[in-house]
Amino acid sequence: MNWVDFKNTENVFNTVKPPRLIQRMLQIGTDPHSEDIVLDFFAGSGATAQAVVEQNARDNGDRRYICVQFPEPLPKPEPELKTIMDIARMRLQNVGKALDDDDLQMSLDSNELDIDTGFKAFRLADSNLRQWQAPDENDPDALAEQMAIFDDGLKDDVRHKDVLYELILREGFSLNSEVEEVKTKSQMIYKVTDSNEGVAERDEDAPEPRADRAFYVCLDDEIVFEILDDQQLDTEHVFICRDSALDDALKVNLSLECILKVI
Q: What is the pLDDT of residues 173-191, one digit of tens each?
A: 988 899 999 888 778 999 9
pLDDT exceeds 90 at position 161: yes
| 241 neighbors 217 (Cβ within 8 angstroms) | yes
Q: Is the dihedral of CA 249, 250, 256, 260 positive or negative?
A: negative
pLDDT exceeds 90 at position 117: no
| 214 neighbors 193 (Cβ within 8 angstroms) | yes
**Is the pLDDT higher at 81 or at 148?**
81
How far lies 199's CA from each of 173, 189, 236, in Å? 12, 27, 20
Domain positions in the chain: 9-107, 153-262
pLDDT exceeds 50 at position 198: no
Residue 151 is predicted with a pLDDT of: 73
pLDDT exceeds 50 at position 156: yes
Residue 21 is predicted with a pLDDT of: 94
Q: What percent of the chain has pLDDT over 70?
A: 84
Interatomic CA distance for residues 1 and 220, integer angstroms: 47
Taking only the tens place, the pLDDT of each residue in 22-75 is 999 999 999 999 999 999 999 988 999 999 999 998 898 999 999 999 989 988
Its pTM stands at 0.74
Q: Tell me the pLDDT band of 206, cut-offs 50, 70 and 90.
A: very low
Q: Is the dihedral of CA 198, 204, 208, 214 positive or negative?
A: negative
Interatomic CA distance for residues 176 and 173, integer angstroms: 8
* DSSP β-bridge partners for residue 195: 212
pLDDT exceeds 60 at position 1: no
